[in-house]
Amino acid sequence: MSPDDSRSLLPVEALEQLKNVVGHKGFISNEADLAPYLLDWRGQFRGISPLALRPDTTQQIADIVCICNEYNIKIVPQGGNTGMNGAATPDDSGSSIIVSTARLNKIRHLDPLNYTIAVEAGCVLQNIQKEAAQIDRLFPLSLGAEGSCQIGGNLATNAGGVNVLRYGNMRDLVLGLETVLPNGEIWSGLKGLRKDNTGYDLKHLFIGSEGTLGIITAATLKLFPKPKHFDTCFAAVVGLQEIIELLDRARHRSGDGVSSFELITRPPLELAFQHGKNLADPLAEPSELYALIEFSSSAEVNEEIMEGFLESALTDGLVSDAVIAKSETQRQALWRLREFLPEAEKIEGASVKHDISVPVSSIPEFVETAILAVNQYLPGIRPIYFGHVGDGNLHFNFAKPKTMKDKSFFLHKDKINEIVLDIVASLGGSLSAEHGIGQLKRDSFLHYTPSIDLYLMRQLKNTLDPNKIMNPGKLL
């Protein structure tokens, strides 16, 4: 028994058994090393747990889950811990252990002609992208945290990112899964088939379930031909309605070759310049709204397509200025600017965040109505929205008024959420387009979700996890 075990609420013999499963390299129990596992990326949720396990095989995870069932120990699965809603952070009861997938990180199988790759849950997203690129294939999931988030976390949150318009969400990129169920059984569903209609599609139960229905241990992912050519531009757009028209035009003029269509507004861009290093304004004059647009193709592309598209947009008054990346370095610089926005917002300080979606055609109405209503409620509040407007998904965030203290600002959080989410609901939208529910959005989720949906979800949860050991306090 270690001194740390004696302070824990959990049975010492159970903790010893769990450590034995993973061996001395596979657990962390001292306070200093545990600290990063107990805090979420935004620094808003801090939990308590005596132990983080770092198994390196599926069988070890199955053994861990069996022991936890026997002793009624709760499990918080954790990948890269980059989630936005505190879903990978334990609660403060001290009754959970963390199961990190960081060491479960092998590439199991590559099948170039089937366009598939089978990977373990702890593979970092960027490493999967690199592995695919080496065989001239693309794994298209791409997001700002790709250097540290893991595919298990991407699956458990059904991650979105900047290529959804062309390739879909994480859910659309999976052919098979392997999962340890809450009773410790291993479900082996690692198929690599594009067509398979044998009953319910069980993998979809676990995708987006935020660790509440089991621990995903491996996945077979879809690959695509690697694009040979990118056309990327940064355009100042004159209004919200114009941005929607520009999206429509881009899809037509590119032969539906738009892979990304991101909205950036001036306030988060200013924060990026203020808090980031080596980030330059791509255009000479400031504008309120920008679109970062990328066309991509695995064939040789006629560069005149993007030039023609932008020329027509300038002539018709949709765009006031634009720059096309002339090299891979310039393209990367534009993307660095976009991907730094969450970090810049975090450095700036307290904000109330929303990850909403509405039909693309309703974006202008949503933004105009919601900004007016929130400004009326709290004058001086600073809208800092941006996001995947091509998917109808905005990160509709608000920074506190400059002179307000964090504590006073957060007293307004519930009211701001209510104002924004009522408008989202009235437009048939979603209160979580890509980050999930976790702890942060649980109350809103329970409030806005129809009772029949909640009933079905609870039935599923009770069937798969009757002892309620998987990720308590999250989602439901």
Question: Contact residues for ligand 2HG (CB under 6 A)?
Answer: 144, 341-342, 345, 353, 387, 395, 397
DSSP string, 329-364: HHHHHHHHHHHTHHHHHHHH--EE--EEE--GGGHH
Q: How far is the CB of 374 from ligand FAD (least distance, A)?
A: 23
Site string for ligand FAD, 330-369 (x = CB under 6 A): ------------xx--------------------------
Q: How far is the CB of 364 from ligand FAD (least distance, A)?
A: 22
CA distance 52 to 102: 11
154's contact among ligand 2HG, ligand FAD, none, with CB below 5 to 8 A by partner kind, is: ligand FAD
CA distance 204 to 202: 5
With contact defined as beta carbons under 8 Å apart, do 152 and 252 qualify? no
Q: Does 173 bind ligand FAD (CB under 6 A)?
A: no
Q: Does 149 bind ligand FAD (CB under 6 A)?
A: yes
Near ligand FAD by CB under 6 A: residue from 21, 73, 118, 145: 145
Q: How far is the CB of 342 from ligand 2HG (least distance, A)?
A: 3
C-alpha 72 chain-centroid distance: 30
Query: What tokens does 283 get?
Result: 């255009």
Query: What tokens does 461 get?
Result: 């949860």
Number of residues that bind ligand FAD (CB under 6 A): 37
412's contact among ligand 2HG, ligand FAD, none, with CB below 5 to 8 A by partner kind, is: none
Query: What tokens does 408 get?
Result: 């006073």
Near ligand FAD by CB under 6 A: residue from 87, 138, 325, 427: 87
State whether residue 117 is helix, strand or coil.
Answer: strand
Residues in the chain: 476
Piece in contact with ligand FAD (CB under 6 A), picked from 84-92, 219-227, 232-240, 317-325: 84-92
Please enumerate in sequence order all residues whose Cβ is within 8 A of that of 300, keeping only pairs 6 or more positions apart, or say none.
228, 229
150's contact among ligand 2HG, ligand FAD, none, with CB below 5 to 8 A by partner kind, is: ligand FAD
CA distance 208 to 453: 15
Query: What tokens does 296 get?
Result: 């991509």
Q: Does 139 bind ligand FAD (CB under 6 A)?
A: no
26's contact among ligand 2HG, ligand FAD, none, with CB below 5 to 8 A by partner kind, is: none
Please enumerate in sequence order all residues whose Cβ is within 8 A of that of 127, keeping only pairs 6 or more positions apart, or say none.
105
Q: How far is the CB of 274 from ligand 2HG (least distance, A)?
A: 16
Interaction residues for ligand FAD, span 58-77 (CB under 6 A): 76-77
Piece in contact with ligand FAD (CB under 6 A), picked from 159-167, 184-192, 283-291, 422-430: 159-167
Near ligand FAD by CB under 6 A: residue from 47, 161, 282, 392: 161
Near ligand FAD by CB under 6 A: residue from 159, 236, 419, 423: 159
Q: Which residue is nearest to ligand FAD (CB)?
A: 153
CA distance 468 to 73: 9
Q: Which is nearer to ligand 2HG, 341 or 476 (CB)?
A: 341
Q: Does 390 bind ligand FAD (CB under 6 A)?
A: no
Report the half-sphere exposure of 91 (CA within 13 A, side-chain side).
16
The CA angle 305-146-346, to the nearest 5 degrees, is 100
Tokens 């008054």 belong to 317
CA distance 396 to 386: 7
Report the half-sphere exposure of 62 (CA within 13 A, side-chain side).
11
Strand ranges for 92-173 from DSSP E: 96-100, 107-111, 116-120, 137-138
Piece in contact with ligand FAD (CB under 6 A), picked from 18-26, 152-160, 218-226, 407-415: 152-160
Q: Does 227 bind ligand FAD (CB under 6 A)?
A: no
Q: Which is nearer to ligand FAD, 261 or 309 (CB)?
A: 261
Report the candidate in 382, 412, 383, 409 with the shortest Cα–Cα distance to residue 395.
Answer: 383
The angle, 0 to 180 degrees and rounded to 10, between the axes of the packed helices 240-253 and 304-315 is 150
Q: Which is nearer to ligand FAD, 290 or 309 (CB)?
A: 290
**Which residues are near ligand FAD by CB under 6 A?**
41, 76-84, 87-88, 101, 121, 143-145, 149-150, 152-154, 156-157, 159-161, 210-211, 215-216, 342-343, 434-435, 471, 474
